Each structure stands twice: as C-alpha cells, then as structure tokens.
Amino acid sequence: MTTETVEYIRYRIPEDRSAEFLSAYTHAATQLAAAPQCVDYELARCEEDFEHFVLRITWTSTEDHLEGFRKSELFPDFLAEIRPYIENIEEMRHYKPTTVRGRGAAVPTLFAWAGGAEAFGRLTTVFYEKVLADDLLAPVFAGLAPEHAEHVALWLAEVFGGPAAYSETQGGHGHMVAKHLGRGITEPQRRRWVNLIQDAADEAGLPTDAEFRSAFLAYVEWGTRLAVHFSGPDAKPPAEQPVPKWNWGAAPPYQG
C-alpha cells in the first residue's frame, strides 16, 4: 500500500480577511511547489459558506512531512505567510487513503474511447502479424504462444481503464515484467516495437485524435522503456504490483 498521506487543514476565515488569506497562500504555495516531500496541493473554498476553506496537501509520507518539510529551509518562509491564520484552523490532520477510490464517468476511460475490448483485440492481432514478419523483432518473439496476442490485448485493456481480466487470469504487473527478464531487448528493437504498434493502431481503426494518441504513445514509450530495463543482464524482478492504470494525464517518473 502507498505510504502517501493526505493532510487536511480546515480554516474558518472571516469574509473581510479572505482576500489577504488567499494572497498569503498563493505565496506560501511557492514553498510547497518546491518541496520534494509534497506530491500535490489544493486550497478549496466552500460554496455554501464562504468563510470555510480546506487545504489538501498530499505528502510522500507523514514522516516526510513532519521530519522533512517542517525541518527544511522551505518551512520558515511557508510558516511566515500562513502564521496570521493559524488561530483560524479548525482541523489539521493526516489521512491515509483507503482502497475505496475511483473515477466517475464524466470523462470516458481510454479503454472506452478506443472502442473497448474489441478494439484492443484488433490492435494486438494486427500488431503481432507485423511483429512476426519483421526481421528485427521476429527473433525476439520466436515460439510465440498462440494466446500471446490475446493476453496482451487483456493487458492493454486493463491498463487503459478496462476490466481487470489480465490481473484475474494472468497476474499483476510483476507477471508481465517477468516475461521480459533476460531477453536483452535493444534500443533499435524497442523503437521498432513502438513504430509497429502505432502502425497497427492505424490499421485497427483506433481513434486518431491528438488526445488519445498522445496518451496511447505515452504509455507505449513508458512500457517499452521499462521492458528494455528489465530485460537487461542485471535487472531484478520488481515486487508484485498491480497493473498500472493509464489515463488522459501524464504519469510520474519511474523511480524503481
């Protein structure tokens, strides 16, 4: 489970001080943005009662917040900005995220936008036909199991927000990574893989809008670079992890 923690600070600020309060936090946020212990932050104002504000800060851990940020050179400047409003704090606590989380349907998943399971099935069918006919990649996939394309379709579908069929039938991220251990994938092979799956996406009729393709390519680049890393001679299998979930935004840098 993640070590990240979410700190909530609830303020009650009189209406006549709200402008200066917002100005103070605009300046204080500079210190949060520079803190390596801070993942993200947001100050929200109540719609029903304008005097109520909630500051949400996600920290890499509670210890990183208390022993890292609060003892760093950034904290004095942060505190100087918000000190006049400490007396207005009604709650200040750390909360650990639970497994109850998800996204609503206001924005479709990449899986749904692509056309669902059928679209990813078409994609991998076309893609592996190209792979097996390619002089650079065919040796890497020699002896390819008949169900390989189907399994990769399940993987991609789950990554892009579809059902957890890969996790339920094959395993998590570690299972996929294990398939690359010791294969010695080269950079030219990785680049060819990237190019062929983009060609396959065109032929399989996946959406061509800029937003979908940029997210699709971002995952392909991320995934293939990890494949090269874990196929190297000194690579060690990672701890078991869930299948990564890709959305319309960007992923944080891999630091494993």
Residue found under tokens 């991320």: 222
Q: Are 35 and 69 in contact (CB under 8 A)?
A: yes
Rama region for 38: left / alpha / beta (φ>0; ψ in -120 to 50; rest):
beta
Q: What DSSP string describes 169-202?
A: HT-SHHHHHHTTTT----HHHHHHHHHHHHHHHH
Is 175 assigned to a binding site?
Answer: yes
> CA 132, CA 193: separation in Å to the nearest integer?
11
Of the candidates 159, 255, 162, which has an alpha carbon nearest to the alpha carbon of residue 216? Answer: 159
Residue 93 burial (CB < 10 Å; 0-12/13-18/19+)? exposed
**Binding site: what residues are annotated?**
175
**Binding site for heme: what residues are annotated?**
175
